Every structure is written in structure tokens, then in C-alpha cells.
Structure 1
Amino acid sequence: MAATKPTIVLIHGGWHVPATYSKLAEALRSSGYEVHVPRLASVNETRPPNADLSTDTALIRSYVENLVQAGRDVVAIMHSYGGQVGTNALHGLSAEIRSKEGKTGGITQLVYMCAFALPEGGSMVGKVKEFGHEHLLPLAFDFADDNTVLHRDPKTLLVGEAPGLDDGEIEAYVNSHVRWNGTCMYQEVSHCAWREAPVNYIYTTLDMTVPLDYQKSMVEKMQEQGREVQTFQLETGHCPNLTATAQVVDVVKKIAG
């Protein structure tokens, strides 16, 4: 009998909402995967914000716990800020740990898609400062007085070059974005799920929001901590879910079966 495919939980990035990932989610479903894209609380559009990294962490942990406690094998795909959330939320839920406890289900793979894979105490802005780029933050991001934030130029800096996509598809993508609680960029993770489950990283070589140097430094730091990281490389910008959908699905198939 063929093995059951794992359930996919897609943990989205800042500004994004579940509908922003409809192209990737539908492509994965067409390949036979059950796909969940829970909406993070930090993009609930409340002003002033009433949710941050800790709220997002609790939401994702509860969501995935319900799946694994039902015996599901879960592949977590994390995009951008979603890497920080998943890293913080999914500790202790790996299939390996649960198997040793006599339990079924668990996280079988972590997939960071140009995402923040940080150690304890790490933050998004901390990575920016590590490269001496903090002066670029106000150029890329438009912070309001209540600390909600929008990307100043999502077409260029998030989507980037997108051959084959028409302008209408790109417009619909960026128009789906909402204000996000910019405080999340500064908040530190306190747990590291990547220490406990198999790790994969999808590099996006044309990324202008999380540059390739940032991505490679995060992978190198995990490797220095003794973690094996399987890497994949896509010649695209920061939103491969939109601009390289088929290639992302191919990567997931290689990882998840």
C-alpha cells in the first residue's frame, strides 16, 4: 500500500495572508497534498496592533499540535518571517521525538523558503544588523506611528523579476498584502525547532528582501551547530510561491515524497 502523503502547513510571511499563497497551495493540492495556511495574528489589521511574534507562535503551535496529536505527519513550509514563527513554535513536535515517546505523528520536515532560520536570541533585525544594513530599514519599510508597517516597494523588492507573469497577477498579489505589526521584526526567538527535525532550505538567488548572503549565513550557522541542511536553489526573488511555483512544488516532492 502506498504511503500516505504528509500534511503541509504553510507558515506565511509578514504582510501576507493565506489568500496570497493560493497559487502555491492549489498547486500542492493538485499534487495530492492536504495544505493548511493558517492566518497569523500579527496581520489581523488591528490598530494599534494587539498581536506579535508570541501570539503568532502560540497560534501556530496550537494549530500544528492538533494535527500531530491526530497522528498526522506534517511538513512545515515557512516563508520569510514565517521561518521565525515556525522556528519558535514547533520545538518538541518532531516525529522523531514523538516516536520516542510512543506517539504517532509529528513534524517530519522543516522547509525554510528564503525564511529566517535563527538561533535562540535571534531576530530579523538582528540579522540585518549583523550585515550592517540597519540604515536600509526605513528605505524598504514604511513604519506608521503605531508601528504597523508596509513594504515601500513590494513589486520590486518582494516579487522582483517575474518573467512569464502578467501584470494583473503581480498586482493582485501585492494588493492582497495588509499592514503587519513591525514589532515582530525586532522580537527574538526563544526556541529552535530546527535542532530537532530534518532541515531544508530553499535559496532564492535574486532576493532583494532577504538577500542570498543572509540566507547562506543562516544555513551556515545551523551547520556550525551540527545540523545537516539540505539546500535547493531557485533563480527568483523573495516570493517563489508566486514566481517559481512549479519549482517549489518539485522541491516539496523531493523532500516529502
Structure 2
Amino acid sequence: MSSKPQLVFVPGAWHTPEAFSLITPLLKSAGYTVHSRQLPAVGNPNPPQDLSEDIAAVRDLVTEAIGTGNDVVVFPHSWGGIVVGSALVGLGKKEREAQGEKGGVVRTGYICSFLVPKGINPIQSMDADWWTVEGNQILLKPSGQQVLYSDLPIPDQEKWFAKVQTHAFHAQQGNATAECWLDIPTSYLLCEDDQAIPCSAQEAMTEMVRQRGGDIEVERIKSGHSPFLSQPENTVAWVRKVAGEKV
């Protein structure tokens, strides 16, 4: 068993684990084992009809990271927060210890990500003009490039926007099925210049967790929606702090 927690990164809508490719080597060089996986809703020609496949995929990934008793910290980005908040039931370290099992999720670190109550999906009420729906797939319009990567140079925006995938409509619009942030301590990287999830919405979600009695710590960063691309070193420093280091 590693002395450092295992790290699990959950991509947001339209994205694959490649989005974390700038921070992953930095974390590995700092001694961390990093896990991530493309979710069933992303780039799938047979898109899932609800959120259940994505929830199951995250549970499998986290269970794999726990292994024989590792501590784990889970980092969702954007839409991935809806999946993570629903997926970690029974996987928290305190819950597992109560069942006589070793290891488990000791903390989550939401990166400008959705924190939502059970039965809710805020994306359903978003009036976004930077995507379009075709059948059961959501495709990004060209304007999505600026929304997702606003603080990157244009050539880098174009590079990363070329990598986005389709996203299953019914999965993206699926309601949260649990509130794991009530049981597992949460850290939140609030991106003040985010054009996809406005700063005010992030503030409202983190305050909701606080009002509901959740254990949450918020750190603010002057960043757009993808700080792991625009500010990888600062993002890594935050991740390491969330994982328990004094950085």
C-alpha cells in the first residue's frame, strides 16, 4: 500500500482523461498513483440512456484504486461532479471501516464542478448557446472553444477543442442519485473566470453544501474552466494539498 493516497480524476462532459495529461506526470513525479477513465457517456456511438453507466464506471475505477486498502482522493471536473456525488455511496473510508474494510475515499476535490442535491441536475435549466443536441448526443458549437478554454492562447484552445467528443444527452441531463458530499469531506477549486459554470453558481453550490452540513473547504483561483490546462502547476499544488501534503 502506498503511503500517499491514490488519486482518481473524473473528466467533465465531452472530455477524456487526456484533459489531465499536463498534470498527471507532475503528480506521478511527486509520488502519486493516478487513475482516470473515459466515461460511457463520452464519445460513445451507442450513448447511455441515463446516468447509471457513468456512475458504475466511476465506482469501478474508485474500487480499483482502493485495491487492498488504499486511501483515495477523487477529483471530478465540471459535469463529472454530478457523477461522483452519486457514485461514492459506501466507498468513503469511514463507511468502509464501519463494515470492517480497509481504505476508501478520504476526500473529494471538485474542480469548478457541480455539487448538487439528489434528484437535481442544474444543466437542465442552463440556457447554453454553445452546444447543440442531435438525437441523443450533445455536440459543442465552435463558440464552446472560448467557453471551455478562455484563458488559454488561441493555438492551445484549438488544440484542446479538437479533442472534445460527443456527450450523451440523457446522461448529461441525468439527475444526481446521491449526496456523497454530505458524508465525505470536500475540497473545491473555485475558478473565478469560468465561462461555463459562472463563479456565482460555484459559490452558490459550495454554500449549499455548507448549509446542508457538509464538510467543505474552498480555494479560489483566477482561472477559466480548465485550470489543469491553463495553470497546471497551480492546480497540482492544490491537488497535493487536498491529498494531505503541506505544499
Q: Report TM bin, short chain.
A: over 0.9
Looking at structure 2, the residues matched to 147 and 89 of structure 1 have their Cα atoms a distance apart, in angstroms, of 23
C-alpha distance 102-80 of structure 1, shift in aligned 2 (>3 A): same
The question of 1:157 aligning with 2:147 is answered yes
Q: How far has the Cα of 1:84 moved from its partner? A: 0.6
Query: Residue deviations 1:196-244, cap 9 Å, x none?
Result: 1111111000011111111111111111111121011110111111111
Q: How far has the Cα of 1:68 moved from its partner? A: 2.1
Q: Which runs of 5+ in 2 are unaligned?
A: none
In the TM superposition, 1:216-231 aligns within 5 A as: 216-231=203-218
In the TM superposition, 1:1-257 aligns within 5 A as: 4-47=3-46, 49-50=47-48, 52-126=50-124, 129=125, 134=126, 136-137=127-128, 139-144=129-134, 146-152=135-141, 153-162=143-152, 165=153, 167-256=154-243, 257=245
Q: What is the percent sequence identity of the aligned residues? A: 28
One-letter amino acid of the counterpart of residue 159, structure 1: Y
Q: Which consecutive segments of 4 or more residues in structure 1 shift more than 4 A?
A: none
Say if 2:92 and 2:105, in contact at 8 Å, map to a contact too.
Answer: yes
Say if 1:92 and 1:196, in contact at 8 Å, map to a contact too.
Answer: no
Q: Considering only aligned residues, what root-mean-square deviation do their CA atoms show, in Å?
A: 1.6
Which deviates more, 153-162 or 111-120? 153-162
Q: How far has the Cα of 1:184 moved from its partner? A: 2.4
Q: How far has the Cα of 1:19 moved from its partner? A: 1.6
Q: How far has the Cα of 1:255 moved from its partner? A: 1.5
C-alpha distance 63-210 of structure 1, shift in aligned 2 (>3 A): same
Looking at structure 1, the residues matched to 51 and 185 of structure 2 have their Cα atoms a distance apart, in angstroms, of 23
C-alpha distance 176-52 of structure 1, shift in aligned 2 (>3 A): farther
Q: How far has the Cα of 1:51 moved from its partner? A: 5.3
* SS of 1:253 mapped into structure 2: helix
Q: Which runs of 5+ in 1 are unaligned?
A: none
Q: Where is the helix percentage greater, Structure 1 or Structure 2?
A: 1
Looking at structure 1, the residues matched to 237 and 101 of structure 2 have their Cα atoms a distance apart, in angstroms, of 30
TM-score by structure 1 length?
A: 0.89
Q: How far has the Cα of 1:18 moved from its partner? A: 1.4
* SS of 1:41 mapped into structure 2: coil
